[in-house]
Amino acid sequence: MAMGPEGTPIRIIGSYLSSCVRKVLAVLELKGLRYEIDPIVPFMGDDRFTSLSPLRRVPVLIDDRVTLADSSVICQYLEDRCPAPAVYPADQQGIS
């Protein structure tokens, strides 16, 4: 399932060295979503990157609907947009 315009894969700006980027990639893999990595060194980048990530942090997700720049927000967005297979338990109150 592609989520970009005209079937293009989701774009993730980041570095494989970042644990936050790897968390997002794990969710994308679990859900079977197509993506591509646009590598960048954390806290680097030009003014275009700053406009996408004001704190200049990775990862950044870009798809046909949104641009997001926080790994937890990205993972929740992916869960909401593509609920199956679920990453989070349906009943989080039952977790001990």
| Residue 23 pLDDT class (50, 70, 90 cuts) | very high
Q: Is residue 20 part of a domain?
A: yes
27-79, pLDDT tens digit by residue? 999 999 999 999 986 666 677 877 887 777 889 999 999 999 999 999 999 99
DSSP 6: G
- The model's pTM is 0.83
**pLDDT reported for residue 6:** 59
Report how many domains make up the chain: 1
CA 60 to CA 95: how far, in whole Å? Answer: 30
Q: Is residue 14 part of a domain?
A: yes
Structural domain of 72 = 5-87
Q: Is residue 96 part of a domain?
A: no
Q: Is residue 92 part of a domain?
A: no
Q: Give the CATH number for residue 18.
A: 3.40.30.10
CA 66 to CA 15: how far, in whole Å? Answer: 20
3-state secondary structure of 12: strand
